[in-house]
Structure 1
Amino acid sequence: MTTEADMRGNRVLAAVPRPELDRLAEHLEPVTLKVGDMLYEIGGSVPHVYFPLTAVLSLITDVGNGHGHFVEVATVGDEGLAGLPVFLGAGPPSERATVQIAGSALRIGAEQFRHDVVVLDGGLQTAIQRYVQAMFTMMARNAACNRAHNIRQRCARWLLMTADRVHSDSFSLTQEFLAQMLGVRRASVSEVATALAADGCIRYSRGTIDVTDHERLQEHACSCYAVIRDAFAVAYEGLG
């Protein structure tokens, strides 16, 4: 059975009252996710709902009319879950969910989640509703950020958000993957990473990022970092 400590590692689950959390424990399965794992595909089924603990997931949409031009629309860490179409009772997903940063998560079968777990007016439903509102804030800021802020600002924001989610100053990330997430050329990511390293904000070696100075990195980030961080910070206030 999943332990309470495991469940408290995800902020949605941590906002659920203890009696309901105990019932959830019977259905949640600990899993280890690897970079590139596909959790569900555009237009496909959503077999499980995932609550990340240390993993970071990426929600990607295809803007190339089926020609494989993918753009990230949101990321999911320990503040949320992947599988909202199941909760919302929607049709097939319009985005692909993949693993961006390897780590641990808890998962539950979609049917189990839909029919036996989400209780009307229950604590989990309330927590997920709060998460959806914060997710809207993140997606709106992402859209505005991609138009209004430069690559260095967006890259710094993304690195700060990732460090927050994995609770570590060090994480594995290739330039190719970061370029896809930011929607830019790999050469542009290399230039930005070099500049941030020269300023003492990060170290980058063999696919590993080390954040060496959070304050300096935040000076490079756009205001979207604080807005998104604060939206999730207040999302679960008064719950649990």
Structure 2
Amino acid sequence: MLQINHSKANHLLAALSDIEWQRIGHFLEPVELPLGQVLYESGQPMAYAYFPTTAIVSVLYVMESGASAEIAVIGREGVVGVSLFLGGDTTPSRGVVQSAGMGMRLNAQRIKNEFNLSGPFMRLLLRYTQALISQMTQTAACNRHHSLDKQLCRWLLLSMDCLQGNELVMTQELMANMLGVRREGVTEAALRLQAAGLIRYARGRITVLDRKGIELRTCECYAVVKREYDRLLPAMLAQ
């Protein structure tokens, strides 16, 4: 049975009208999203679109060598699988659960059908997609021009925006893969933030102690992304 209150923890689903709920609500399935689960692989057809509620999903680009880097992070503000309703069906990236939690999933054909109705939900999905593209482009610029410390701060802030709470549970290896650096580099950067009193860092767990201090320490990239999300999506989705 569909858990309505749980499903509406996702901001896009919460924006559905009563008519839209009547049309697609009972097709939504609650799913557990364990840490490290791969939701889709590069070049493989997607069976579902995922709407995280308490989980965070990382979109990674994986090189032929196996090295990877995060290009976007998606949580309760969005949907994983925009390629489905944009007509691509596949994508060269990989979707991996960054922080374990729950989500709702919708069959690929169902979200295509809903998008093709050209109604309010389609327009909301398109605005979200533009915001997601802005995050991807800003991430690429940040990874090229800013220090690892600043990148880590940006990543922490974006991740916190996707969660209810101030704690992330994940492996050092996954963090390193997402930031595209060695595990030792992530550890050193995290320990510097801990020494500054901004976070508490233990193996597999990061607790943000001073969000304002992290905001002051990061580059302009976080603010650019945040402004775009706030501009493109209704005020209720930015909360």
**Match of 1:221, as an amino acid?**
T
Distance of 1:187 and 1:239 partners within structure 2: 39
What CA deviation, in whole Å up to 9, does each residue of 1:140-180 have, x standing for no partner? 10111011110000101111111221111112022221111
Whether the 8 Å CA contact 2:73–2:158 is kept in 1: the answer is: no
2:11 touches 2:77 (CA, 8 Å); kept in 1? Answer: yes
Contiguous gaps of at least 5 residues in structure 1: none
**1:185-210 residue CA offsets vs partner (Å, 9 max, x unmatched):** 11111111111001110001231111
Contact 2:38/2:97 (CA < 8 Å) preserved in 1?
yes
Q: 1:26 to 1:119 in 2, by over 3 A?
A: farther
Q: How far off its partner does 1:17 sit?
A: 2.0
Which residue of the partner structure matches residue 235 of structure 1? 232
> CA 1:57–1:83 in structure 2 vs 1: closer, same or farther (change >3 Å)?
same
Shift of 1:71: 2.0
Aligned pairs for 1:9-48 within 5 A: 9-48=9-48
> Secondary structure at the residue paired with 1:118?
helix
> What is the TM-score of this pair, normalised by structure 1?
0.92
Cα shift at 1:182 = 0.9
The equivalent residue for 1:106 is 104
CA distance in 1, matches of 2:236, 2:210: 33
The two structures have a TM-score, normalised by structure 2, of: 0.93
Is 1:149 aligned to 2:146, yes or no? yes
| Structure 2 unaligned residues grouped into runs of 5+ | none
Shift of 1:91: 4.3
Identity of aligned residues (%): 37
* Contact 2:3–2:30, Cα closer than 8 Å, also in 1: no
Deviation of the 1:224 alpha carbon = 1.0
Q: Verify: 1:136 aligned to 2:133, yes or no.
A: yes
| Structure 1 residues 222 and 112: alpha-carbon distance in aligned structure 2, compared to 1, 3 A threshold | same
Amino acid at match of 2:110: Q
Distance change in 2, residues 1:212/1:239 (3 Å): closer
Deviations 1:34-68 (CA, angstroms, capped at 9, x unpaired):
0111111111110111001111111112223xx32
Q: Which residue of 2 aligns with 1:70?
A: 68
Please show how residues 153-172 of structure 1 align to structure 2 within 5 Å.
Answer: 153-172=150-169
The CA distance in 2 between the partners of 1:157 and 1:198, in whole Å, is 18
Alpha-carbon RMSD across the aligned residues, in angstroms, is 1.8
Determine if the alignment matches structure 1 residue 215 to structure 2 residue 206.
no
Question: How far apart, in 2, do the equivalents of 1:7 and 1:181 lie?
Answer: 27
Aligned residues: 237
Matches within 5 A, 1:73-84: 73-84=71-82
